Amino acid sequence: MPPINESKDLLYMAISLAVLLLTVFSCWAIYYLARILQQSFQIVKEMRDRLHKVDTVIDAVKEKIEHSASYLLLIGEGIKTLVGIMKSRGEKKRKAKKE
């Protein structure tokens, strides 16, 4: 290494050291920025998956409610018919006992 004879050499060394430190800091900042972006994308993906699961559950519950409502109508009609049959049987038995 040659000896430092002029102030110009000292200035070049200071500038090169500053550029080196600036480069190291820039690389470090870019790395952490990339990690932050990667984690934020991962969080967004997980939230999309969770929202999709919630949407699926809501759709399943909605379907079950719709199907059970139609079944309740059928069950109600069946009970109504059954009560009518039981009434007619009861009336027939009363008439048979009276005779």
Average pLDDT of adjacent 10-residue blocks, the chain of 99 residues = 76 95 98 98 96 93 78 79 85 73
* pTM exceeding the 0.75 threshold for the entire prediction: no
Looking at residue 2, its pLDDT comes to 63
Looking at residue 1, its pLDDT comes to 61
Looking at residue 77, its pLDDT comes to 82
Looking at residue 44, its pLDDT comes to 97
CA–CA distance, 27 with 33 (Å, rounded to integer): 10
Looking at residue 49, its pLDDT comes to 96
Looking at residue 32, its pLDDT comes to 98
**Which DSSP symbol is given to 3?**
-
Three-state SS at 48: helix
Residues found in the chain: 99
